[in-house]
Structure 1
Amino acid sequence: MLEPWRTGKVIKIENANSSTRRFWIEIPDAASFDFKPGQFVTLDLPIHEKKNKRWRSYSIASAPDGTNIIELVIVLLEGGLGTNYLFNEIHEGSELVLRGPQGVFTLPDPLEKDLFLICTGTGVAPFRSMAHYLHKHKITHGEIHLIFGCRKFSDCLYREELEQLQKDERHFYYHPVFSREENVGDGAYKGYVHAVYESILQQNKRPANFYLCGWKNMIDEAKQRIVAMGYEKKDIHQELYG
């Protein structure tokens, strides 16, 4: 059953970097906005006459916390009607029509296998939600490897808090990967996400679930490589961006 459309109010906006913003949205008619980490909301933006040309879906970047406030992290797409509207017309105090939560890109229950959370860009949003949720609720899990591909250091969203989470949460490993940086420092990688999960699994192949979130090219290549390592398609879950 689809959730009803409701009105949210933008209560805070922050620049994450030159092309990405964090939007905090309060849903006043809900005492709490309950969702599963990994789910998304759909915004109905006044950018087209046809309904389906107005809808834009974004993963919830915050973890469920019992409040009626959620965070979305959105990158400005060149020529994108939706993101240009959000960046140019929406400010603190603006209202947005939204529907949700929606989606089945959620954590397995129970968490028996190791998890590889592989993302690029704002595809980190659902994984940030999952990681904070697991930590807050002290949920038992195997190894979790969050592999986050970026071009430059400035593209690496939530870096400090994910580094802190790696220190605070047992068996949680954070692997930032940079394709356009020469010197990346300890704990980071040069290149692309695929070499990282392949390297980890070459050292110790084990039962695992793979969650992919980001641009189509990354997801398509990851699926091919994961299957080539001997995993089944049912081990792979994806959320496509763009």
Structure 2
Amino acid sequence: MDLPVVEIVEETPTTKTLVFDLEGRPFRFYPGQFVVLEVPHPETGEKLRRAYSIASPPTRRDRIELTVKRVENGRASVYLTTRVRIGERFRMKGPYGRFYWTEKLHSRIALLGAGSGVVPLVSILRYIRDRDLGNVDAVFLGSFTSYEEVIYREELLELGKLKNVRIALTLTREFPDSWQGYRGRINREILSREIPDAVERLHYLCGPPGFVESVRGTLLDLGVDRRNLKTERYR
């Protein structure tokens, strides 16, 4: 598909959401899946191909959203967060990936993400909200370096007001004086407190390899069956 950017949303100082118009094209996917985007690199004339999780839910039929965090020396992410203009067109392929959720898989889920790893997890939460899936029980744990870097901050507060969604956040580096959430990395104590019924849930882990491996190991120690652990590692 060749799609135009119709809106750019600043999520954090380093993260932006690009909204693409599907221009009437049918595009079916499951929440949690990703696409491959072709990104220009003007300095070399290259076309960089990068995988980005879909941020929008499947219920949003006319547009598709990709949330991109700027990575130091990341040629594609720097272009997408600093140089993209409204109306610019990009080639996109997909959807891809087995890291997805549907109501048929499990009604009790835990979504654990770090940094931009929360993007596919929020797609799942948006889908639950839009479909009004009251029979689903979801716990979301998000880890960020600072309050300013919490992606979808205001929306997460609103999603946490749903009766069947619980949101908890932790900051790992910088903490405002008013911060009342967790401090430090997601550990056994946080997991035990926020997901006391962990063995009964299907878990989705997404973020840097170190984060995914650490949380996965802790959940296994807590008795979670490895078949109930879905992982996606961001490089």
TM-score (norm 1): 0.87
Partner of 1:174: 167
Instruction: Tell me if structure 1 keeps the 8 A contact 2:103–2:136.
Output: no
- The CA deviation string for residues 60-98 of structure 1, in whole angstroms up to 9 with x for no partner, is 111123523111111111111211222344211111111
Q: Percent identity?
A: 25
Letter in 2 for 1:13: I
Instruction: Tell me if structure 2 keeps the 8 A contact 1:34–1:66.
Output: no
Cα shift at 1:143: 2.9
Query: 2:14 matched to 1:19?
Result: yes
Q: 1:127 to 1:204 in 2, by over 3 A?
A: closer
Instruction: Tell me if structure 2 keeps the 8 A contact 1:19–1:76.
Output: yes
Give the 5 Å matches for 1:115-134: 115-134=109-128
Question: How many angstroms apart in 1 are the aligned matches of 2:60 and 2:128?
Answer: 15
Q: 151-160 vs 133-142, which deviates more?
A: 133-142
Paired residues, what number? Answer: 231
Gaps of 5+ in 1: 1-5
Q: 75-84 vs 140-149, which deviates more?
A: 140-149
Partner of 2:159: 165
Letter in 2 for 1:68: D
What is the aligned counterpart of 2:190 among 193, 196, 207? 196
Question: How many angstroms apart in 1 are the aligned matches of 2:16 and 2:169?
Answer: 20
Partner of 2:51: 57
Gaps of 5+ in 2: none
SS at match of 2:123: helix
Instruction: Tell me if structure 1 keeps the 8 A contact 2:68–2:81.
Output: no
Letter in 1 for 2:230: H
Cα shift at 1:171: 2.2
What is the aligned counterpart of 1:238 among 212, 231, 234? 231
SS at match of 1:11: strand
Instruction: Tell me if structure 2 keeps the 8 A contact 1:116–1:197.
Output: no
Instruction: Tell me if structure 1 keeps the 8 A contact 2:106–2:202.
Output: no
Q: 87-96 vs 71-80, which deviates more?
A: 87-96
SS at match of 2:133: coil
SS at match of 2:160: helix
Cα shift at 1:27: 2.6
Letter in 2 for 1:220: E
Question: How many angstroms apart in 2 are the aligned matches of 1:217 and 1:184?
Answer: 29
| Deviant stretches of 4+, over 6 Å | 48-51
Q: 1:142 to 1:94 in 2, by over 3 A?
A: closer
Letter in 2 for 1:110: K
Partner of 1:3: none
TM-score (norm 2): 0.89
RMSD of aligned alpha carbons:
2.1
Cα shift at 1:115: 1.2
What is the aligned counterpart of 1:207 among 193, 200, 206? 200
